[in-house]
Every structure is written in C-alpha cells, then in structure tokens.
C-alpha cells in the first residue's frame, strides 16, 4: 500500500475515533509508556529504561513540536527548490523517490535534551534524558536533489522551511544549515526504520543532519532554498544558540556572543542498572553513548565518583553518528548506597565532562549520568 494511503487512513481514524485508536493494539511495553512533556503541541520523551535497543522503535521515539503544526496534505505535497540555483521548481514525492535512495542510521537528539537537569532552572520543555533516539532514516541525498537544481557557487547556507505555521504572533520556525554539512551528509528522509515516516516525525519529508542537534532536522519539509547568508529570525538569532566562550551558571549572553548549536556533545547514559545488588556478585550495567563525532572510542564507568574507571564493552553494531550500546559486568566491592556514573570519549578524543556547561537556553546537557545502586553484603 502506498504510504499516503496508510497515513490518510490512520489519521482519518485518529480524527474520527480517538478512543478507538487509544485502544489500538500496540506492543504492551509501548502502551502508555512515553513521558508527556506537553499534550498539545506534542512533546514526549522516552523513559531511559526503554532505550536499550540499537534501533529505537518508532513508537518509542521521542517527539518534539514547537506548536500544533499544519501538516502537508500528502496528495498535494510538493518540495519547492528556489534561491541560488540554476533551475528552481517543484518536485513531487514520486519524482523524489526515483532518485537513488540513501540511508543513515544515526542519533537524533533534541538540542534541549537534559534542560530539566540544569541548575539554576531555565524556561522551556524540561526534558530530562529521553529526548534522544537512534533510527534508520531512508530517503535521498540532499546533494542529489540540489545537483538537479544546480546550486550556484554563491550559496553557502541551505534555508529550510516546513509547512507548520505558528499560532498567533509566534515567530516562524525558519532555519538554515551550512550547505557544506548537508551536501556531505544530509538526507531527505521519507522513511523511518523501514516504515513510512510518521506524521509526528515530519511526513512526508524530513531533513536528516547526522551528528547535529534536532533543531536542524526540519520536519514537514516544503521548501529548500540555497542562499549566500544564513537564515534570520527568532529561531536563528535568539533561540538555538550556544555561548562562544561559556560563562558561569546563571550568566546570560547577548546573541552575538553565541553561535548556532550544531554538533552534538559527547554523552553517555545508563539505561540498565539494578536497583539492588549484592557485594562481590557481578551484575550487568548497560547504556548508550553518542557524539557529534562519527563514533565513540570508549565508555567507562566509575563507582567511586570518578576516582577510578572501568572500561565497558562496546557493542559491535555501529554506523557513522549512530550511538554505541555498551555493557559492563560490574562487581560491587562494598555494601551501602553505591553511586555509579558513566563517561564517554568520542573518536575525536572529546571526553564527557562531569558537569555540562550551563547555558541560558539549556542546550546540549551532557554531564556524567549518576545512578544509585543499593548494595547489600
């Protein structure tokens, strides 16, 4: 069945009979399992304990929306290409799908994941750990699509537009990405983990920017426009910026003292650890680690607040900018409350810090993740 059909049926059903859909058979582990950060516009994170698979199932993948979007009508949908190109025009989904397909399995993390862990607190969705997932994205290369249009040498930034109009006088979510990055790695995805891209994740087309924070991964794409200058507006010039030279907690910077958030910071989380363990008996600790670098070099855990470290085993499964699952047989040496923490080092040598650098919008939180285990003798 063409995916338009599936989507239309699914969402007609959703609109017509929400109660019916609420009872639709989904895997029991998935039912009522997400942590709702906002009922509308939809924002939900995944509980860490469920982020244990290399590929995060679609139904467990976190969802981020700035507002209730106007999603494209898949039947009428076109991707417009204009700006600094030789041939501007519109492409339909079926034309797009005739281009060679490209695939990337990589991490998508919201720039604000972990905002709720910063102190002093700051306004915004108070994400803790689960605004992240690793997914297989299928689509076509940005490079192939733009080659068709003939990008002029003057173009340095790809302006990207989704169909979602903000409410009231809220500024539009207009963004741009460095052309160099999207020409190298960017994918226009129409499928997620082998399924048609779900509407909550940007159907019919979403920009994939491996290694970069989610604010670049525009959903519900309708227009691409190569331009000489970066995009302007609230979501480029005020939001999604990170200080050039980080200050102390609570110190706010002017926009010009900051630059757009781009690459993810190296980070690991513990997804699996027993609440209780016995001294001198091994137990399994597991988690994931990722970075804006293409791979993770090692993940270590410590049970003495970082004084000594034990190297964990990295799972062999890997793709560039995907996460690495890791596991470790840990044997508690003493009884009492033992505080475990994990720290990752990426393939460029960046080491996860004990304390993430506080910044005024709460982006890229990557402090060591601590978990308590009650150890009995």
Partner 1 sequence: MKRAAIIVLALAAAFASAATKRSVAFDPNLPVLGTKFHSLPAGTGKQQVEASCFPCHSADMLVQQRLTEKQWTAEVDKMIRWGAVMKESDKPAAVAYLVKNFGPANKFTPVRTRPAGY
Residues at the site binding ligand HEC, with contacts judged by CB under 6 A:
66-67, 123-125, 166-168, 170
CB 261 within 8 A of CB 292: no
Which residue in the set 3, 4, 14, 320 belongs to the binding site for partner 1 (CB under 8 A)? 14
- Answer yes or no whether residue 36 interacts with partner 1 by CB under 8 A: yes
- CB count within 10 Å of CB 280 equals 12
* 86 contact choice in ligand HEC, partner 1, none (CB below 5 to 8 Å, kind-dependent): none
Smaller CB separation from ligand HEC, 187 or 199: 199
* Nearest residue to ligand HEC, scored by beta-carbon proximity: 168
Which range in 30-38, 99-107, 262-270, 339-347 contacts partner 1 by CB under 8 A?
Answer: 30-38
Which residue in the set 87, 169, 254, 276 belongs to the binding site for partner 1 (CB under 8 A)? 169
Q: Count of alpha carbons within 13 Å of 49, Cβ hemisphere only?
A: 9
CB 354 within 8 A of CB 370: no
Report the nearest approach of ligand HEC to the CB of residue 166 (Å).
6
Binding mask 183-202 for partner 1 (x = CB under 8 A): ---------------xxxx-
- Answer yes or no whether residue 302 interacts with partner 1 by CB under 8 A: no
**Residue 310: DSSP 8-state:** E
* 100 contact choice in ligand HEC, partner 1, none (CB below 5 to 8 Å, kind-dependent): none
Longest dimension (CA), the chain: 73
Which residue in the set 56, 71, 225, 359 belongs to the binding site for partner 1 (CB under 8 A)? 71
Binding mask 104-123 for partner 1 (x = CB under 8 A): ------------x---xxxx
Smaller CB separation from ligand HEC, 124 or 353: 124
Tokens of 279: 């001294």
Report the nearest approach of partner 1 to the CB of residue 167 (Å).
5
Place of tokens 């909550």: 200
Tokens of 344: 């990752």
Residue 240, C-beta contacts closer than 8 angstroms, at least 6 positions apart? 111, 175, 213, 215, 260, 261, 361, 363
Smaller CB separation from partner 1, 57 or 294: 57
Smaller CB separation from ligand HEC, 168 or 316: 168
- Answer yes or no whether residue 28 interacts with partner 1 by CB under 8 A: no
Place of tokens 């009428």: 76
CB 353 within 8 A of CB 366: yes
* 282 contact choice in ligand HEC, partner 1, none (CB below 5 to 8 Å, kind-dependent): none
Smaller CB separation from ligand HEC, 352 or 360: 360
Q: Show the DSSP H helices in 75-211 as ranges.
A: 93-98, 142-149, 179-185
Residue 191, C-beta contacts closer than 8 angstroms, at least 6 positions apart? 3, 137, 138, 139, 197
Report the nearest approach of ligand HEC to the CB of residue 175 (Å).
13
Best CA proximity match to 342, nearest among 295, 280, 290: 290
Measured CA to CA, the distance from residue 61 to residue 44 in angstroms comes to 9
Q: How many residues does the chain have?
A: 377
Summarize as ranges the residues that interact with partner 1 (CB under 8 A). 11-12, 14-15, 18, 21-22, 24, 26, 30-45, 58-61, 63, 67-71, 116, 120-123, 125-126, 164-171, 198-201
């Amino acid at each position: 069945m063409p995916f338009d059909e599936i989507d239309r049926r699914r969402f007609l059903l959703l609109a017509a009979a929400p109660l019916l859909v609420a009872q639709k058979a989904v895997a029991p582990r998935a039912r009522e399992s997400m942590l709702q950060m906002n009922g509308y516009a939809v924002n939900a994170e995944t509980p860490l304990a469920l982020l244990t698979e290399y590929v995060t199932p679609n139904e467990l993948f976190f969802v981020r929306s700035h507002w209730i979007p106007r999603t494209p009508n898949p039947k009428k949908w076109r991707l417009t290409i204009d700006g600094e190109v030789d041939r501007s025009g519109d492409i339909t989904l079926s034309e797009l799908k005739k281009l060679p397909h490209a695939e990337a399995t990589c991490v998508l993390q919201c720039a604000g994941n972990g905002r709720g862990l910063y102190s002093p607190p700051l306004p915004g969705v108070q994400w803790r750990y689960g605004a992240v997932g690793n997914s297989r994205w299928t689509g076509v290369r940005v490079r192939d699509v733009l080659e068709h249009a003939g990008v002029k040498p003057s173009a340095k930034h790809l302006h990207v537009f989704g169909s979602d109009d903000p409410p009231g006088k809220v500024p539009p979510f207009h963004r741009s990405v460095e052309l160099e990055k999207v020409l190298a790695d960017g994918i226009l995805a129409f499928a997620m983990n082998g399924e048609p891209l779900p509407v909550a994740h940007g159907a019919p087309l979403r920009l994939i920017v491996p290694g970069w924070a989610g604010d670049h991964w525009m959903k519900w794409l309708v227009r691409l426009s190569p331009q000489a200058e970066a995009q302007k507006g609230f979501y480029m010039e005020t939001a999604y910026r990170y200080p050039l030279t980080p200050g102390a907690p609570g110190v706010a910077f002017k926009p010009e003292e900051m630059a757009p958030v781009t690459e993810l910071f190296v980070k690991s989380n513990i997804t699996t650890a027993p609440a209780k363990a016995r001294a001198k008996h091994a137990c399994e600790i597991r988690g994931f680690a990722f970075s804006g670098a293409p791979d993770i070099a090692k993940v270590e855990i410590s049970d003495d607040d970082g004084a000594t470290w034990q190297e964990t085993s990295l799972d062999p499964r890997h793709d560039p900018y995907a996460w690495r699952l890791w596991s470790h047989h840990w044997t508690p040496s003493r009884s009492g409350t033992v505080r475990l923490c994990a720290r990752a080092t990426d393939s460029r040598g960046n080491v996860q810090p004990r304390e993430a650098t506080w910044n005024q919008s709460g982006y890229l939180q990557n402090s060591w993740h601590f978990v308590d285990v009650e150890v009995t003798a």
